[in-house]
Structure 1
Amino acid sequence: MRPENAKAQDNGSLRLLMSYVFADKVRFFKTLLLVVVATVFDVMGPMLSKVFIDDFIVPGHYPLWPIVGVISLFAFAVVVGTLLKYQQSMRFLDMALNAVLDIRKRVFEHVLSLPMSFFDYARTGQLVSRITNDTESIKDIYVQFLSNVLSNVILLIGILVAMAILDLQLMLIALFLLPTVMALIYVYQQFSVKVVSESRQLRSDINATVSESISGMSVIQATNQQQVKLAQFDDINSRYYSTRLKAVTVGSLLLRPAINFLSILVLASIVWFFGMKVVQGVAEIGVLYAYLNYLGRFTEPLVEITQRFSLYQQAIVAGNRVYELLQEPSGATSQGQGGAIVHGQLSISKLQFAYQANKPVLDNVNVEIEAGGFYAIVGHTGSGKSTLLSLLLNFYQPQSGQILIDGQPLQSYSHDALRQGIGLIPQEPFILASSIFENIDMGRELTQQAVERAAKQAHLHEVIMAMPQGYKTELGEGGLRLSTGQRQQLIIARALAGSPKILLLDEATANVDSETEQVVQRALSHLHRQVTMIVVAHRLSTIRNADCILVMDKGHLIEQGNHEQLMRLEHGRYRAMYELQQQAQKVAQAE
């Protein structure tokens, strides 16, 4: 990343973070006023101690009511100061939690709106880390940094004012610490920024590696890759340990030890200066006690501020990562005037698409699909079948050409109109760990009748009613209570529940047995002429009754027609594929 880009990103993350600080200005300044009042009560203690020593103890004069008044005021200042500090801590914590709540919601909402092309390269573990760990680290800038630094800066100002009231020359000696501490903070930031950024990235890599390993555990164990994955994880984990150790080492050298050493020098200077005043006969014991008390309080806020800068650095790095994610452009959600999809007629002309430049996946595809028709797309792996479905779903934008739905450009339809008018049945069913009803409804607030009607269309209603709790049956993670075929029927019911005009099936019967395949075929045959169906098929026997079969090869549409027409082509691609599958099926049956 170039320096100007890194600087712009830092500014962006700071704007993101500080926008929440001033989101409720009245509340923030009330909290700030609370800090000021708490500081006033906090610095009153040494002043009252000075009065008690110089006015009562040194002269040996102990009048009852003045002593009671000073002690009562001292106790009152301690109690009120403690309560006000508690209140300011709670208010900053509340501000922090509200900020994290909103940032996390914004980030997840943005991730849901990102185009599918983003997820082609994104790693799940890293995204989870940004949404959870990084947003949680942002909280530290409010609780650990903003609250601490603000309160300590105000406390330092209060202490300096009290010191100046007692003795201006002694205050100037203590003031020497401030520019030195600022220099230490600058040096610390120069050393730590790279290390902290690297450690945050490595933590995301750890999450990504663990996520990938757990999700692919069956493949890892089947191919005996346990040691390889362990070595990969151990390498990332070791590098994370090294970077964290570097960050801790830099902080240990430049923060508390350095401040403590400087405070000892200042203490020695104050004692020497006070000794000179004793020699001159102008010193007061109470002033020395108050100064030593203030000096102890003066160095501690400095130490706290410097130590919090490590948390500030981590929060800024986390903010950069969150800000970078928020800057990812959202998917195309055009809000044209196309309205709802009424018929489901499709027209594809001169369609050109490539994931990478100069590597076309679809090349000059032209298709006319009638409303209510049953169309199938076949071809070898990599021919562009699933990509065509992705373009129909508006997941990607073609480089040239256009797709019309009911005579209107695809981009003219709103996002909601497309999702309501087009249903998708993927090859791998996605099942929520919730009830059957919720899996079919998918948050669309459908009625019980609509859900049951969709289940009946998918021939799943009887299976559901045979379960103990019917549609309220919890399926568990991944739909473990259903068979593979029943999961596919559930996905079909989910798609049909929204009453789509276009139904896309991406090899929906590739992973089911013959019996379940017949059930799925029967469900789809009942939808013929009611819904426009576009089916990507691997088993060619399942699409024999299609109105039109589109044969793809390396992004080109090379053949189209119904089963009988394509079988009459002597050297046709479809005929060769069909005959090959029939021979393989006969061999399998013979065995």
Structure 2
Amino acid sequence: MKDNLLSQPLRYFIFKNRKSFGIGLGLLIVTNALDSATPLVLKVAIDTITAGNFEPTELLKTAALFFAVMFMLAATRYGWRIFWSEYHTSAADELRNRVFHHYSQMGPSFYTKNSVGEMMSQITNDVQFFRNGIGPGLLILIDGISLIILIVPSMIYLSPSWTAKCLVFIAIVPFFIHAITKRIGALSKEQQGMLARLTSFTQELVSGVKIVKIFTMESQRSEKYQELSKEYLDKSNQLNRVDSFFNPLMQMAVATGTIILLYIGGGEVITGAVTLGSFVAFQRYINKIIWPFSALGYGLSQMQKGRSAFERIKVLLEQPVEFPDLFNQKQTPHVASVESIELKNVGFKYGEIEVLKNINLEIKKGQFIGITGPVGAGKSTLLHLLVDYLGNYSGQILLNGKDYNEYAKSEIWKSIKMVPQEPFLFSSSIRNNVILSSASNEQQLNAIVSMVDFDKDMKTLERGLETFVGEKGVQLSGGQKQRLTLARGVYAKPDVILLDDTLSALDTKTEANVRDHLFKSSREQIRVIVANKVQSLMKADQIVVLSEGQIEAIGTHEELLEKSKFYLNQWRLQQMNEAGETHA
């Protein structure tokens, strides 16, 4: 049944939630049956009164019957609302989690092509449109069909000729419904796509509000927002104009029946050919049938919008995941500890652009490895390969002598942690941002906070480690965020820690503290640091110099001063800068 989600989503969710769906549907049918019986009960009461043989006991029985029907009607109506809501809310919850699960397994190539706003629109707006389609939309459609099935025979029972004449215009309604729902589907898809663009632009605007303010871009951004908003408004109005045809069309077709009834039925009541009770009951049925025929249009409209929304979700879910093993339970080698990592003729391309080529490097347990090189040399890309975040590379990367592909991603990521250039903090407390899913160790936490020189900042924070940092750490400065991100990596105590030019954002004292900590840390840990400052790498066991995606040289600090022109120039330039700062 799992594969049916993409091909037959409605059938999939009905089967998955068959209990709540079945009970809700059953109670809805009972509700409609009781509702359809009320005009006949009313007919009996009116005919009893107008017949002239008025008996209070008979009237009381009829009133009691009418009350019992209405009481049961209220109870069953309450019941189907509860169970039907459970069905479609459960379906929406599963679909929303399925989309999130899919996002979790996608890699950098996906996130570079899709905006945050677009993804937010899919997991919120599109899921909600789909829920409205298979929930209220399907409910209203079934409600309308079942009422028509129950009401029309009741009308025929009262008078076949009245029924044929009063509902004569109903026959043409299905043709209009087909044309309108087809147009609604196309317009709904365009509207949802436009809403995604508007959401994406808004998210980008909020995230970049500082840049907008500093560069006085308010007017330009406002004009662009108004332009996108106007396009969304136009699409919505187009959809609403077509959608608005449904109710007037249905009501006009059925309301015509009331006029016909008054014309042909009034005379028959006066002549005594039919009873007043039959006339009143038939008129009640005409009023009741306005809703079912209107419901056909509204229900189909909602289902068409839901179908269009699911088509957008389907496009996402059909995209192959880049990290397929994150949540499965397949048996893969266990990494007790990282003894070595080896790269054999590794190369990598971003599209057609070759970033790394012929990388051969072996890193052993306890080693301190430095990586440097000019801008664009591939340093960050190399770290992303080491942490197994990029796929489709050429060559081999081995962990403890086994190919990375033999391990589950989760197994590798338990042992290898990376601190990226761009700091990211969750909307939570300082403590939670540092420990994440690790167990809290107060002594270790305080030591690391002190190591990254954050203890002095703690004195200005009233709640200390429990201070809420806000979305993306908005309450903290850039340097504070960088230090907490670094503390997070160190606190995890992984077998391998990768620092992507993280130390460059720190002041000299803090950088020295971290560098000394890493150098003195357990010889069981592999430490790989990307840095432009030669001073940050001097104590490394091996320093790798990258140039144009290739390894230019490998060696210790002293060896590279002899055999790497780039490294030597960097060393001299930084020495000169330090000397200048000292004299200043």
Output the TM-score relative to the length of structure 2.
0.91
Q: Secondary structure at the match of 1:504?
A: strand
Q: Which residue of 2 aligns with 1:3?
A: none
1:509 aligns with 2:500: no
Residue in 2 that maps onto 1:140:
132
Match of 1:523 in 2: 517
Q: Deviations over 1:438-474 (max 9, x none)?
A: 2222123455456456556656578769965554444
Q: Deviations over 1:212-263 (max 9, x none)?
A: 11111122222222222112211110000000011111122x2112222222
Q: Which residue of 2 aligns with 1:389?
A: 383
Of 290, 296, 302, which aligns to 1:305? 296
Cα distance between partner residues in 2 of 1:510 and 1:458: 13
The question of 1:345 aligning with 2:340 is answered: yes
SS in 2 for 1:443: coil
CA distance in 1, matches of 2:368, 2:396: 21
1:21 to 14, 19, 22: 14
Q: Is 1:428 aligned to 2:422, yes or no? A: yes
Larger CA deviation: 82-91 vs 62-71: 82-91
Identical pairs, percent: 24
C-alpha separation between the residues in 1 aligned to 2:405 and 2:170? 60
Contact 2:17/2:87 (8 A) holds in 1: no
Contact 1:341 1:501 in 2 (8 A): no
Alignment of 1:51-200 (within 5 A): 51-57=44-50, 59-173=51-165, 176=168, 178-200=170-192
Q: Would the aligned equivalents of 1:433 and 1:478 in 2 still touch at CA under 8 Å?
A: yes
Contact 2:136 2:299 in 1 (8 A): yes
TM-aligned CA distance change 1:287 to 1:466, over 3 Å: closer
1:396-415 C-alpha deviation (Å, 9 max, x unpaired): 21342010112111122222
Superposition CA RMSD, Å: 2.8
Pick from 250, 265, 285: which aligns with 1:294? 285
Alignment of 1:310-321 (within 5 A): 310-321=301-312
Residue type of the alignment partner of 1:506: D
Aligned-pair CA distance for 1:555: 1.5
1:6 aligns to what? none
Query: Corresponding residue for 1:45?
Result: 38
Q: Distance in 2 between matches of 1:457 and 1:513?
A: 13
Q: Of the candidates 357, 370, 374, which is equivalent to residue 376 of structure 1?
A: 370
| Partner SS, residue 376 of structure 1 | strand
Q: After superposing the two structures, state which structure 1 stretch, 207-216 or 45-54, moved more.
A: 45-54
**Aligned twin of 2:252:** 261
User: Which AA in structure 1 matches 2:31?
Assistant: A
Q: CA deviation at 1:100?
A: 2.3
Between the aligned partners of 1:326 and 1:446, the Cα distance in structure 2 is: 37
Which amino acid in the other structure matches residue 323 of structure 1?
A: K
1:322 equivalenced with 2:313 (yes/no): yes
Cα separation, partners in 2 of 1:468 and 1:265, compared to 1, 3 Å: closer
Can you list the C-alpha shifts for 1:307-330, whole angstroms capped at 9, x where unaligned?
233332322222222233222322
Spell out, residue by residue over 1:449-504, the C-alpha distance to the aligned partner (whole angstroms, 9 max, x if none).
56456556656578769965554444444446655444434323322333311111
**Matching residue within 470, 482, 485 for 1:488:** 482
Specify the alignment match of 1:248 in structure 2.
240
For 1:314 and 1:589, locate their aligned partners in 2 and report how far apart those are by CA, in whole Å.
Answer: 69
Does structure 1 residue 222 correspond to structure 2 residue 214? yes
After superposition, the C-alpha distances for 1:292-342 in whole angstroms (9 at most, x for unaligned) are 110111122211331233332322222222233222322235556331152
Code of the aligned partner of 2:132: D
Kindly tell me: are residues 447 and 581 of structure 1, through their superposed partners in 2, closer, same or farther at Cα, counting changes over 3 Å? closer
Aligned partners of 1:470, 1:530: CA distance in 2, in Å?
32
Distance in 2 of aligned mates of 1:14 and 1:368: 48
Structure 1, residues 270-293: CA drift from partner, whole Å, max 9, x if none? 445546867997433322222211
> Would the alpha carbon gap of residues 230 and 287 (structure 1) be closer, same or farther in structure 2, given more than 3 Å must change?
same
Greater CA deviation, 314-323 or 412-421?
A: 314-323
Alignment check: 8 A CA contact 1:567 1:574 kept: yes
Which stretch of the first structure deviates more once superposed, 580-589 or 321-330? 580-589
Aligned to 1:410: 404
Matched, 1:547 2:541: yes
8 A contact 1:348–1:366 mirrored in 2: yes
Q: What letter corresponds to residue 347 of structure 2 in structure 1?
A: Q
**Cα distance change of structure 1 residues 278 and 488 upon mapping to structure 2, 3 Å threshold:** closer
Aligned 8 A contact 2:167 2:254 in 1: no
Counterparts of 2:466 and 2:343, CA distance in 1: 42
1:458–1:523 contact (8 Å) kept in structure 2: no
SS at match of 2:503: coil
Q: Secondary structure at the match of 1:353?
A: strand
**Distance in 1 of aligned mates of 2:581 and 2:233:** 55
| Greater Cα offset, 530-539 or 20-29 | 20-29
For the Cα contact (< 8 Å) 1:351–1:400, is it kept in 2?
Answer: yes
Range 331-340 or range 237-246, more displaced: 331-340
Contact 1:95-1:142 at 8 Å conserved across structures: no
Question: Which stretch of the first structure deviates more once superposed, 181-190 or 519-528?
Answer: 519-528
Rounded Cα–Cα distance in structure 2 between residues aligned with 1:179 and 1:526: 86
Distance (whole Å) between structure 2 residues aligned to residue 459 and residue 225 of structure 1: 37
Equivalent residue letter for 1:228: Q
* 2:554 is the alignment partner of 1:563: no
Residue 83 of structure 1 and its aligned partner are, at CA, apart by 2.9
Give SS of 1:505's match.
strand
**What SS is found at the alignment partner of 1:182?**
helix
User: Structure 1's 523 and 246: CA in aligned 2 closer, same or farther, altered over 3 A?
Assistant: same
| Mapping of residues 414-493 of structure 1, within 5 Å | 414-448=408-442, 451=445, 455=449, 469-479=463-473, 484-493=478-487
Q: Using the alignment, how far apart are the partners of 2:555 and 2:174 within structure 1? A: 78
Contact 2:143 2:295 in 1 (8 A): no
**Deviation at 1:19?**
2.3
Secondary structure in structure 2 of the residue aligned to 1:432: coil
- SS of residue in 1 equivalent to 2:518: helix
1:391–1:398 Cα contact (<8 Å) kept = no
How far off its partner does 1:124 sit? Answer: 0.9
Contact 1:89/1:147, CA 8 A, preserved across alignment: no
Give the match's secondary structure for 2:573. helix
Counterparts of 1:284 and 1:238, CA distance in 2: 58
Is contact 2:17-2:91 (8 Å) kept? no
Give a deviation string over 1:316-372, Cα, whole Å, max 9, x none.
Answer: 222222233222322235556331152341111111211213x21111211122221
Amino acid at match of 2:512: Q
Matched residue, 2:566: 573
How many Å separate the matches in 2 of 1:168 and 1:410? 77
1:342, 1:501 within 8 Å by CA — same for their partners in 2? yes
How far apart, CA to CA, are the structure 2 residues paired with 1:557 and 1:336? 36
Please give the per-residue CA displacement for 1:528-570, whole angstroms capped at 9, x wherever unaligned: 633211111122221122222222222222222222222113x
The count of corresponding residues between Structure 1 and Structure 2 is 577
Q: Secondary structure at the match of 1:568?
A: helix
